[in-house]
Amino acid sequence: MRNLLIFITKYNAFFLFLIFEVAALLIYVKYNSFQKATFITSSNEVTGSLYARMSEFNSYLSLRDVNDSLARENGRLRNQLKSSFYVDSVSKRKVTDTIYKQQYEYIVCRVINNSVNRSNNYLTINKGAKQGIVKGFGVICNLGLVGKVVFVSDHFSVIQSLLHKDSQFSAMLATNKEIGSIEWGDELDPHKGVLKDVSNNAQPKIGDLVVTSGYSLFPEGIPIGKISNLHTKAGGASLNMEVTLSVDFSKLQYVDVVDNRFGKEQEGLEAQQKKNE
C-alpha cells in the first residue's frame, strides 16, 4: 500500500490529466448530439464485433455437441428410409395387403480410435453390447461402407474396416446390378479397393458407381466407390476392377452400426441349407 501511495504521489499530475481528459470527453459527448450519436454508433460497432468474436468462439467450443446432434439426426432419418424396411406383401384376388416391417436399424457411434496405414486396420467406437451392438453387425457412415464389428465389450466395439486384408463384402454395379465382391487393393492404398469376380457380360465403365448388393450385412445401395480402372482376371472368366473408395477412412468421426433384424434368421436358414448339401 505504501508503494502504491508513493507511485500515485509521484505521478499525480499525470493521473489528474487523465481524469480531466475523460471528464471533458464525457461532457463533450453528452451535450453535443452529433458527437453523442457518433460515439454510440462507434461503441455499438465495437461491442457488436466483440460479441461476434465471442459467439464464434462459443460455437467452436460447442462443435462436438453440434456434431453429436447431427449424427443422431442422421441416424434417425436413416432409420426412416424406405431401404430400412422389409415389405411383406400378400396378394389375393387383386387385393394387395402390404405391411412395412423395420428390417434395418442404425446405432450412431463416435470413432475414438482409428488406423489406416497398416495391413490390417481397425476402428474403435464408443458404444457396445449395452447399446445393442453385436459381433458381426455391418458399419457404414454418411459416405458409404466402413466395415463390420468384430469385438464387443459392454461400452465399446472394435470394427474391422474395409482396409483389412481379410475384409470382403458383397457388392454390385449400380448401373446393371452385376454382382461381385469388394475388398482392399493389393497396394494397400487407403483410397483404393478391388471389385472382384464380376461377369464379363457386365460391360462396366470408368466412373460407374459400386454399391452394396443387399446380400450380406447392409441394405442394398450403400455407396462403396467408383470404378477407376479395369483389368481382366487371369483366364478371362471374370473381371476385376479397381475402385476409388467413397469413404476417406482417415477422417472418420461418426459411423452407423447396422442392425439387420432378419440377419440371424437368414444365417440360420443358409447354414441349414449348407449342411444338407
Domain ranges of the chain: 21-61, 104-277
Q: Which parts of the chain register pLDDT below 70? A: 1, 4, 7-8, 28-102, 232-237, 262-277
Of 80, 124, 132, the C-alpha closest to 107 is 132
Under DSSP, is residue 120 helix (H, G, I), strand (E, B) or coil? strand
| Segment 27-41, tens digit of pLDDT | 766 666 665 556 555
| Segment 212-222, tens digit of pLDDT | 998 878 888 99
Calpha distance 130→248 (Å, rounded): 29
Burial 201-238 (b: 16+ CB within 10 A, else e): ebebeeebbbbbbeebbbbeebbbbbbbeeeeeeeeee
CATH for 104-277 (3.60.15.10, 2.40.10.350, 3.30.70.2700, 3.30.750.24): 2.40.10.350
188 neighbors 168 (Cβ within 8 angstroms)? no
| Segment 258-267, tens digit of pLDDT | 988 766 665 6
Of 230, 242, 233, the C-alpha closest to 203 is 230
Residue whose cell numbers read 457488436: 48
Predicted TM-score of the model (pTM): 0.64
pLDDT for residue 91: 35
